[in-house]
Amino acid sequence: MIKTRQFLLSLLFFSVLCSNSIFSGFKVPIYYTSSVSMGYDNNLFRLSDLNLDSTLLPSIVDASAFDSGYITPKLKIDYQPYIIKDLKTDFNFAYTRNHYFSSSEKSFNIFQSQIGIKFAPYQSIKFSHRYIPKYYLRNYIDHDMSKEQYEVCTFSIESFSVSYSHPLMNRNWIKLKLNNTNYFYNKSFTEFDTRIIQFEIKYYFRFLKSSNSIWYSYSDGDNISNDNGYYSTNVNRSYGEHNLGVSFKKKLRKKKTFDSFGTSFMFENRFYEAENDDDLSFSSRESALHNGRTHNEFNFSFWVDKKINQINNQFKFKYRHRNVKSDYYWVSDFKDFNKFEITYKVSFSSNLNILY
């Protein structure tokens, strides 16, 4: 009887120790970052000069103006428990709302989540999910129903990705990423439904006491609704895309005006599949817009950061230019565009001490 009691007490003591050991890894802070961005977009709908001068502009967009101020609140939650001994697990969730003052239709929500496991410094694996329930592009003609009537064109975006980071010498590291993104359009424009598989390689390195990165990606956009029986799906809108980018960020410890500054540059080359004109199922403006079309797009951004009383402040300028090439000279008139954005962002980070 005494031995039985000793055994049970020992078992209970061991269970308590194990329990404390297991759950102690969960007793870590929950971090959060809240931010608000306020900005101005001079070409909200990415309209070409021809579109901007067109008398059809009121039919093309549902907005009081083609430019707009906007506000973007964002909340991010980050939780990093040790579920497995010596391995940090990272759970984070973010919600973003982009609200445009000149167009309620253009406003949209973004939901993001990620699970990561860190094996060592600069070595981790991450699984991510991103979802935009509804994004208003602009108004287009539904070719299955009319040749003149403009309809609202919206789509949802959902992407899943997995990435692996591996350290290199001198605090440099490399990241490989595989991403699957689905674009599903509203019922009037399902001919544009596309599934995109993207592979990206990104190299992070230190140079001249600055943090830098350079990356390349290739995307294969499969027009999954092509040839599904509707008149408008006879055009194949599949494409391939190359993307090359570089970024630079420098901290300035001796300067009081701002703490750091950075810049990034990205070049994108997209090419749509060319078809023999004799094989096209219908000859129309829509056929010409996609058949063998390519475009080169340039994205440039510059920003400065300053922390004041635990509040991070950032001013950012972004410029975007798209140049379209096609066998049909007029296509560029509809697809070329330029735009810029100016943004001021304030953010604050802290933690919730609710688990310890």
Which domains can be identified in the chain, with CATH numbers? Answer: 31-352 (2.40.160.40)
pLDDT attached to residue 282: 44
For position 262, what pLDDT does the model report? 96
pLDDT at 11: 47
One-letter-per-residue 3-state SS of the chain? CHHHHHHHHHHHHHHHHHHHHHHHCCCCCEEEEEEEEEEEECCCCCCCHHHHHCCCHHHHCCCCCCCEEEEEEEEEEEECCCCECCEEEEEEEEEEEEEECCCCCCCEEEEEEEEEEEEECCEEEEEEEEEEEEEEEEEEECCCCCCCCEEEEEEEEEEEEEEEEEECCCCCEEEEEEEEEEEEECHHHHHHCEEEEEEEEEEEEEECCEEEEEEEEEEEEECCCCCCCCHHHHCCCCEEEEEEEEEEEEECCCCCCCCEEEEEEEEEEEEECCCCHHHCCCCCHHHHHHCCCEEEEEEEEEEEEEEECCEEEEEEEEEEEEEEECCCCCHHHHHCEEEEEEEEEEEEEEEECCCC
The per-residue pLDDT for 244 is: 98
Looking at residue 65, its pLDDT comes to 87
Largest separation between any pair of C-alpha atoms in the chain: 96
Query: In order along the chain (356 residues), what is the average pLDDT of each group of 10 residues?
Result: 52 48 69 96 92 79 89 95 82 96 94 95 96 95 78 96 94 96 94 96 92 97 85 84 97 83 97 64 56 89 94 97 83 87 96 70
Q: How much is the pTM? A: 0.86
pLDDT at 283: 47
pLDDT of residue 22: 55
* Predicted local distance difference test score (pLDDT) of residue 132: 98
What CA–CA distance (Å, rounded) separates 328 from 9? 85
pLDDT of residue 88: 85
